[in-house]
């Protein structure tokens, strides 16, 4: 039987988590059929991530991907020469990523766990990347998310993000309404102002809509997403 006594802040967070669906089980079902017509199921990296490397804005280094899904970006990062750690709560997604890495003959250190359970060396990452994880993070976990990014990034390290753009994709409800409904309705849509406020502790490098890519480009790009690149201030 689960101990439902609240002794501290972490117990409160876990209690709030429990108000929602069982995340791992839900995402395992989501990733079960790889042939669904989901755009980001294709083995294609984000177009903005590729641009960062092609333009020399980011160079290979130690990288952490949060919510890596089927591993398409993690594999791309490894192919660029990065040392890659990647985490996702879904075992089905992690297994898919592991198979992809083997197919591409690259090494990715995959972990099946909540990103808040990661046990990694602090201040050791040159790049932390999130493609579609933040808009599924419950509001009560947002401060923990920011603390995770800050704790894991090296001074001068980069944080890259893609997430739902309010008005084009995602639920446009307040944080409080998430708890009234006990649902994020498929993921929260963020405004430009809200994202810049949330990540105001980081230096903004680039911010734009994701470019919608053509079928022959072999890149993932959907215009309903924001893309952003931030940098942790050097000491």
Q: What is the CATH number of the domain that holds 112?
A: 3.40.50.150
Supply the pTM of this predicted model: 0.96
- Is 139 inside a domain boundary? yes
Our count of domains for the chain comes to 1
- Is 11 inside a domain boundary? no
- Is 143 inside a domain boundary? yes
- Is 56 inside a domain boundary? yes
Furthest C-alpha separation in the chain:
55
pLDDT tens digit at each of 235 positions of the chain: 678 999 999 999 999 998 887 678 899 999 999 988 899 999 999 999 999 999 999 999 999 999 999 999 999 999 999 999 999 999 999 999 999 999 999 999 999 999 999 999 999 999 999 999 999 999 999 999 999 999 999 999 999 999 999 999 999 999 999 999 999 999 999 999 999 999 999 999 999 999 999 988 999 999 999 999 999 999 7
- Is 132 inside a domain boundary? yes
Helices assigned H by DSSP within the chain? 9-17, 23-32, 47-54, 72-79, 91-104, 142-152, 175-181, 192-198
Domain that residue 126 falls in: 23-31+39-231
- Is 75 inside a domain boundary? yes
């Amino acid at each position: 039987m689960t101990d439902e006594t609240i002794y501290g802040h972490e117990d409160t967070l876990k209690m709030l988590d429990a108000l929602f669906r069982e995340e791992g089980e839900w995402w395992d079902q989501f990733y079960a059929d790889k042939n669904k017509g989901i755009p980001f199921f294709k083995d294609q990296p984000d177009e903005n991530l590729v641009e960062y490397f092609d333009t020399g804005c980011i160079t290979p280094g130690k990288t952490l991907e949060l919510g890596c899904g089927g591993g398409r970006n993690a594999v791309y990062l490894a192919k660029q020469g990065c040392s890659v750690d990647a985490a996702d709560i879904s075992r089905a997604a992690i297994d898919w990523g592991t198979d992809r890495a083997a197919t591409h003959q690259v090494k990715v250190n995959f972990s099946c766990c909540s990103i808040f359970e990661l046990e990694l060396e602090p201040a050791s990452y040159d790049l932390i990347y999130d493609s579609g994880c933040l808009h599924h993070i419950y509001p009560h976990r947002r401060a923990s998310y920011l603390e995770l990014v800050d704790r894991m990034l090296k001074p001068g390290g980069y944080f890259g993000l893609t997430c739902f753009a309010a008005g084009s994709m995602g639920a446009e409800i307040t944080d409080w309404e998430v708890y009234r409904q006990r649902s994020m309705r498929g993921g929260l849509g963020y405004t430009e102002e809200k994202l810049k406020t949330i990540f105001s502790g980081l230096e903004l490098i680039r911010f734009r809509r994701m470019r919608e890519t053509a079928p022959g480009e072999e890149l993932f790009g959907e215009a309903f997403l924001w893309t952003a690149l931030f940098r942790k201030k050097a000491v």
